[in-house]
């Protein structure tokens, strides 16, 4: 598991995910020609009450 700190809408947050999910998320960002931060912000906005790390894992699984 790797914890990373990022800024979303101007505030800092930490996301903890397995390396494999980080790698897959980076791969998706390249394939979509989008910054990783843009994908994370989009997932954050749409996640509802779900934990951000969990929402990102689901996003990866749905888009790989």
CA 19 vs CA 10, 15, 16, 45, 53: distances in Å: 25, 12, 9, 23, 12
| Cα–Cα distance measured from residue 55 to residue 33, given in angstroms and rounded to the nearest whole number | 21
Position 11 pLDDT exceeds 90: no
* Digit-coded pLDDT (tens) for 13-61: 999 999 999 999 999 999 999 999 999 999 999 999 999 999 999 999 9
Residue 9 pLDDT class (50, 70, 90 cuts) = confident
| Cα–Cα distance measured from residue 35 to residue 30, given in angstroms and rounded to the nearest whole number | 8
């Amino acid at each position: 598991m790797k914890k990373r700190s990022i800024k979303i809408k101007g505030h800092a947050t930490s996301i903890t995910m397995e390396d494999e999910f980080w790698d897959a998320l980076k791969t998706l960002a390249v394939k979509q020609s989008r910054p990783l931060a843009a994908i994370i912000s989009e997932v954050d906005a749409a996640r509802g009450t779900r934990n951000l790390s969990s929402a990102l894992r689901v996003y990866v699984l749905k888009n790989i």
